[in-house]
Structure 1
Amino acid sequence: MRKILLSAFLLSFGLMNAQTFVSTTPQNKKVILEEFTGVNCVFCPQGHVIANNIKNANPDNVFLINIHVGNFATPSGGQPDFRTSFGTAIANQSGLTGYPAGTVNRTVFSGLSMSAGGTAMGRGNWTNAANQILGQSSYLNVAVQGQINAQTNQLTVTVETYYTGNSPVGTNKLNVALLQNNTFGPQTGGNMGNNYNHMHRLVHMLTGQWGTDITTTTAGSFNSQTFTYTIPAAYNGVPVEIGELELVAFVTETQQRIVSGNGAKPTYTGLTANDAKVKSIDAIDQQCVTTLGPKFTLQNMGQNNLTNLPITYSINGSTPQIFNWTGSITPLSSTQVTLPAVSYSLQANNSVEISIPGDDNNTNNSGTTSFTKAIETQFTNITVKITTDQYGSETTWNIKNSNGTTVASGGPYQDLGAAGTTAQPDVNLTLPNECYTFTINDSFGDGMFSSAYGFGGYQVLANGTLISGINGGNFTSVDTRKFGVNTNLGVEDFANELVKFYPNPSNGLITISLPQIAKITISDLSGKVVYTSTLNDGESTINLNNLSSGIYLINFVGDSLNKTDKIILK
């Protein structure tokens, strides 16, 4: 990082001779709202709405910084890690006592703080505090500009300040925050599952924890600082999208009270003329139908607007289909494209390939994704079992067929009034051959699985036997599972479908899930038996560390199953 500080010598010649972009006209303060949040915070989405409403009412004078910090921001179960190394110190000096919390210009507002002398406030007080700041005159103006080289990911930021009055302190601190928008991920309480849109997310402080010094702080003082920073490919494993970055610069007295600030979206250099990108292919749930319309995100990485494109796609290597897309995507923007549904042969494991024509950059013109076949049952008599936690009124569920028609539903249920669980009456159905989606919702966003409120959950059974994988309870707002009813399956076909083993490839330890007692036989490709065992139904783990690396055949034989598959040992 490099800083260039214009000396006071420049001021002696007058700002009229300098190429500046900061205003020299006295202005009111601008709001910097730092919101302390986390992906597991139930009420944080309400805070996001309040903050965005303040921003929308004052788009040029309010700037939001969402800081993921604290226990609610600690990821679990594969959640993304949105935390930074800066958040804890910023939160600790605020005096927050709960989440979501927010500071408005790191200022103490009488009667609004969470704790005596603290700057943190509950979400209900942010609007009041912001209006107070917007009505106050500022003794300095702040302006910021940024530029990103798309080829090198180098960010150059210039911040200018001009003092229209005297600062009460001899040294102020300049802070520059780098934020990322439109990051889709989980959010408890957001009612969006894993598709909650995280905005204004702090990813880095270009000026360090508490900023850099401004030592000339009297009326008429002008200061310019320039910073260079190479943007990484990801922060904590969360990919960076350079087209979604924004800058917020602000000036503080010490490391607390923010005087004013400003924000900007960076401009871009280094873009080639034409560069379309298959940014990502939407994840595909388990399927039990043989028509599918894949969805993917198309991004324009070129400097020219993208208006039309032939898109080629296929499923399981079938005859490629061509879809002629038309629209308008500006540089570094993206759009979701839904491809026309095509028929395909459904396999246990399936793949989708999408490609676009060659252009100035051919390294990003294709993508693949995979999906599996949903479990099927030959039985039409289906039972839904629901066990609610203390708050049964939060739980609802439904089963829909492939047309989206609800064929069964349940809830909300009664609350217990005390910690514990309640087994609800079974719901028995007769379902014809079809593909079904079971969805269960928790309106509070904490699922049905809690050490504090009881371990609830759900099960979907066929002919009294659990349909493999259609059970759970440890989720946030929604859990969705697919299954098929196919009476053309034989008893052995159904049992074979329920046999699972993982991981594959394996280092030697393999977990096996069986619907019934079965004999396990493993042989090498020459037919030599190298392992045998009899396992009970349910999950078991076997150890094959004594075997050499290679490909083996694993055979399962039970009363109504006979299945052989390949397993790879690394």
Structure 2
Amino acid sequence: MKRILLSLAMLSGSMVGFAQTIVSTTPENKNVILEEFTGIYCGYCPQGHAIAQSLKTNNPGDVFLVNVHTGGYANPGPGDPDFRTNFGAALATQSGLTGYPAGQVNRHEFPSYAMASGATAMGRNFWTAAANTILSESSYVNVAATANIDLQTRELTVYVEAYYTGNSPVTTNKLNIALNQNNTAGPQSGGNMGSNYNHMHRLIHFLTGQWGDVISTTTQGSLFTQTYTYTIPADHNSIPIELSELEVIAYVAEGNEEIISGNEAVMTLTSSFNNEIELAEIKEIDNTCKTEVTPQVTIKNNGMNTLTSLAIEYSINGGAINTHNWTGNLAVGETEVVDLPVINFTLQPSNTIDINIPNDDDNTNNSGQINFDEAQEGSRNITVDIRTDNYPTEASWEILDSTGAVVASGGNYTGPQNGGGPNAITTISTTHVLPASECYTIKLKDSYGDGWSYTSSSFQPGIAIKSQGNIIYNKDVGNFGSELVLEGAFKTNTTLGVADNDTAVISVYPNPAQDAIFVNNLDNFNIEIFDITGKLVYSAKEMKKEQAISIGHLEKGVYFVNLASKTVTYTTKLIKK
């Protein structure tokens, strides 16, 4: 991992007798600092997030949130973001928490609400009552702060004033400055949003260290001022730090506990450029057998002028240039994800998409490219390996042809509703015969809405497609939500292969057919017939070999016939005359 050096400098010290500029000198009640202990695998934490956000919303300017990802529920699985910090474990220990989610309001001990004797941590049901108590108490110190981020240098400058309207009961206090990031998409158990749960107020750094900087003069009428600078790294634990999503919370405490009050810094973003747009990201395109894709890019305004229009040019393999004229309202520091219109191209074994935006004050970040390959090809008879999570009853899948018709499917699998059972955390294999010379899309589904998730170094839920013993497609998955669509995942040729001799001799005849069809070389099977839209138009169970199946009632057109016995699944196209 690349090591990023951080700079933190205190530019001015404590002052007494100088005039304040941003902090009020009028006695005020305390503000609430709610430090919430959470984790992406904590199933009840979304309830805690909602309670905390409601507190903040109902008390504007008086309640501030710091979400600390720590503990076992915050440990990331394969492919998960790591939201933990170097500060979380010590804070959790200080709080005395015994479960998650937990929260401490101003690090104050509420004996009747505490999780344990002497603890400042409380269960989520007590946060509101504790916050209301703190909000009703007078504070002997007022806190105000401003913050500025230079978009070119990524330098954060924080100026803090603390004015003492009364005497502190202790000779020294501690100033804490938390740097949080908002609007980070990621997984969250219990959030029912897959990997798109919106994480807010996520602690990424303390500018003042674990327990803050000392305020040495804490008597009535004294004014403390301090300026900090901090060079913000590009990422935290490989999670991009988006400058426009940062917030700074400053608060004063009596030692390591008992926060008296705090405030959020008024944030501004500045740039040395007037017109500077960055092509921040081009979303990766999976290998595909399709001849059209829909590129997605992220643009960012690094200039002081608001962006209202932008011509985005894109092409594939040096072909014709498409232009998308984006319009909107993007202020300094803001980003926007742009879905470009579909572009057609001639598929090659290796493909390159180029994206360009117009010249501006800095042309070093106006272009980019990504590569993607042609999807692998297999024979008509395939094996589908489904790697399940602990809840197989929620899992199902479909394979669709180029018209969108379902040609193979599976799940939901049997098992206890509360998880586990023989179909959990295992590989379920089925064989299928698909129509020839087709490009196939895969849909993975989860009825609960949290994808297929399981944390293990030796097993990862997902899907593999095998042809004649070779893997032609594989996808590891996690918290994808309710549905994951894998466009153009693989394709078939005209051969049947040798993987399944039983299916190689199955046929549905006559084809085209008018009144009835028959199935040879398959006995005791179920049949389903779907129209081209995917609607089930006929089904029957326990059919016998060579038994007549009436289709006279069907309209003329193209249909798909699915046959399934205990050992074989077969799909073919049928034309009704």
Q: TM-score range by the shorter chain?
A: 0.7 to 0.9
Deviations 1:144-188 (CA, angstroms, capped at 9, x unpaired): 111223333222211111223332222211111112223334444
Q: Specify whether residues 193 and 402 from structure 1 end up closer, same or farther in structure 2 by C-alpha distance, changes over 3 A only.
A: farther
Q: Which residue of 1 aligns with 2:442?
A: 437
5+ residue gaps, structure 2: 1-8, 500-577
CA distance in 2, matches of 1:167, 1:220: 11
CA distance in 2, matches of 1:397, 1:269: 49
CA distance in 2, matches of 1:368, 1:261: 46
Q: Specify whether residues 139 and 400 from structure 1 end up closer, same or farther in structure 2 by C-alpha distance, changes over 3 A only.
A: farther
Residue 134 of structure 2 aligns to a residue whose secondary structure is helix
1:314 deviates by 0.9
Matches within 5 A, 1:58-97: 58-97=59-98
- Tell me which moved more, 157-166 or 69-78: 69-78
Task: Give the letter for the 2:106 counterpart.
Answer: N
CA distance in 2, matches of 1:131, 1:212: 28
Task: Give the letter for the 2:50 counterpart.
Answer: V
Q: Specify whether residues 315 and 44 from structure 1 end up closer, same or farther in structure 2 by C-alpha distance, changes over 3 A only.
A: farther
CA distance in 1, matches of 2:101, 2:16: 42
1:295 deviates by 1.0
Residue 286 of structure 1 aligns to a residue whose secondary structure is coil
Matches within 5 A, 1:292-441: 292-379=293-380, 391-399=391-399, 408=409, 410-411=411-412, 413-415=414-416, 419-422=420-423, 433-441=438-446
| Aligned sequence identity (%) | 47
Residue 12 of structure 2 aligns to a residue whose secondary structure is coil
**Given the two structures, how large is their TM-score scaled by the length of structure 1?**
0.75
Q: Which residue of 2 aligns with 1:27?
A: 28
- 1:5 and 2:13 aligned: yes
1:480 deviates by 5.7
Q: Specify whether residues 475 and 118 from structure 1 end up closer, same or farther in structure 2 by C-alpha distance, changes over 3 A only.
A: same
Q: Which residue of 2 aligns with 1:284?
A: 285
5+ residue gaps, structure 1: 11-17, 495-570
Contact kept, 8 Å, 2:399 with 2:440, in 1: the verdict is no
Contact kept, 8 Å, 2:193 with 2:449, in 1: the verdict is no
Residue 51 of structure 2 aligns to a residue whose secondary structure is helix
Q: Specify whether residues 458 and 183 from structure 1 end up closer, same or farther in structure 2 by C-alpha distance, changes over 3 A only.
A: closer
- 1:178 and 2:179 aligned: yes
Q: Which residue of 2 aligns with 1:542?
A: none
Contact kept, 8 Å, 2:299 with 2:337, in 1: the verdict is yes
Deviations 1:487-532 (CA, angstroms, capped at 9, x unpaired): 544568x9xxxxxxxxxxxxxxxxxxxxxxxxxxxxxxxxxxxxxx
CA distance in 2, matches of 1:23, 1:71: 42
Task: Give the letter for the 1:443 counterpart.
Answer: Y
Matches within 5 A, 1:89-488: 89-379=90-380, 391-399=391-399, 408=409, 410-411=411-412, 413-415=414-416, 419-422=420-423, 433-441=438-446, 443=448, 445=450, 447=452, 449=454, 468-470=472-474, 475-477=478-480, 481-482=486-487, 486=491, 488=493
1:251 deviates by 0.8
Q: Which residue of 1 aligns with 2:559?
A: none
CA distance in 2, matches of 1:443, 1:437: 19
1:220 deviates by 2.8
Contact kept, 8 Å, 1:142 with 1:260, in 2: the verdict is yes
Task: Give the letter for the 2:203 counterpart.
Answer: L
Q: Which residue of 2 aligns with 1:528?
A: none
Task: Give the letter for the 2:442 counterpart.
Answer: T
CA distance in 1, matches of 2:419, 2:270: 60
Task: Give the letter for the 1:7 counterpart.
Answer: M
1:483 deviates by 5.3
Residue 374 of structure 1 aligns to a residue whose secondary structure is coil
Contact kept, 8 Å, 2:466 with 2:473, in 1: the verdict is no
Deviations 1:77-112 (CA, angstroms, capped at 9, x unpaired): 243333222222111111122233222211222332
CA distance in 2, matches of 1:300, 1:450: 38
Deviations 1:193-244 (CA, angstroms, capped at 9, x unpaired): 4444332222221111111122332333322222122223333333332222
Q: Specify whether residues 393 and 222 from structure 1 end up closer, same or farther in structure 2 by C-alpha distance, changes over 3 A only.
A: same
**Given the two structures, how large is their TM-score scaled by the length of structure 2?**
0.74
1:400 deviates by 5.2
Count of residues in correspondence between the two structures = 483
Q: Specify whether residues 483 and 242 from structure 1 end up closer, same or farther in structure 2 by C-alpha distance, changes over 3 A only.
A: closer
Contact kept, 8 Å, 2:377 with 2:472, in 1: the verdict is no
Residue 318 of structure 2 aligns to a residue whose secondary structure is coil
Contact kept, 8 Å, 2:145 with 2:266, in 1: the verdict is no
Q: Specify whether residues 132 and 367 from structure 1 end up closer, same or farther in structure 2 by C-alpha distance, changes over 3 A only.
A: farther
1:120 deviates by 1.7
Contact kept, 8 Å, 2:141 with 2:261, in 1: the verdict is yes
Residue 232 of structure 1 aligns to a residue whose secondary structure is coil
What is the RMSD computed on CA atoms of the aligned residues?
A: 3.4
Q: Specify whether residues 110 and 70 from structure 1 end up closer, same or farther in structure 2 by C-alpha distance, changes over 3 A only.
A: same
Q: Specify whether residues 94 and 271 from structure 1 end up closer, same or farther in structure 2 by C-alpha distance, changes over 3 A only.
A: same
- Tell me which moved more, 114-123 or 324-333: 114-123
CA distance in 1, matches of 2:61, 2:403: 46
Contact kept, 8 Å, 1:30 with 1:61, in 2: the verdict is yes
Deviations 1:104-128 (CA, angstroms, capped at 9, x unpaired): 2112223322222212223333233
- Tell me which moved more, 154-163 or 482-491: 482-491
CA distance in 2, matches of 1:308, 1:197: 28
Matches within 5 A, 1:513-524: none
CA distance in 2, matches of 1:354, 1:127: 49
Contact kept, 8 Å, 1:389 with 1:420, in 2: the verdict is no
Task: Give the letter for the 1:395 counterpart.
Answer: A
- Tell me which moved more, 179-188 or 406-415: 406-415
CA distance in 2, matches of 1:471, 1:313: 28
CA distance in 2, matches of 1:202, 1:175: 13
Q: Specify whether residues 418 and 249 from structure 1 end up closer, same or farther in structure 2 by C-alpha distance, changes over 3 A only.
A: closer
1:456 deviates by 9.6
Residue 285 of structure 2 aligns to a residue whose secondary structure is coil
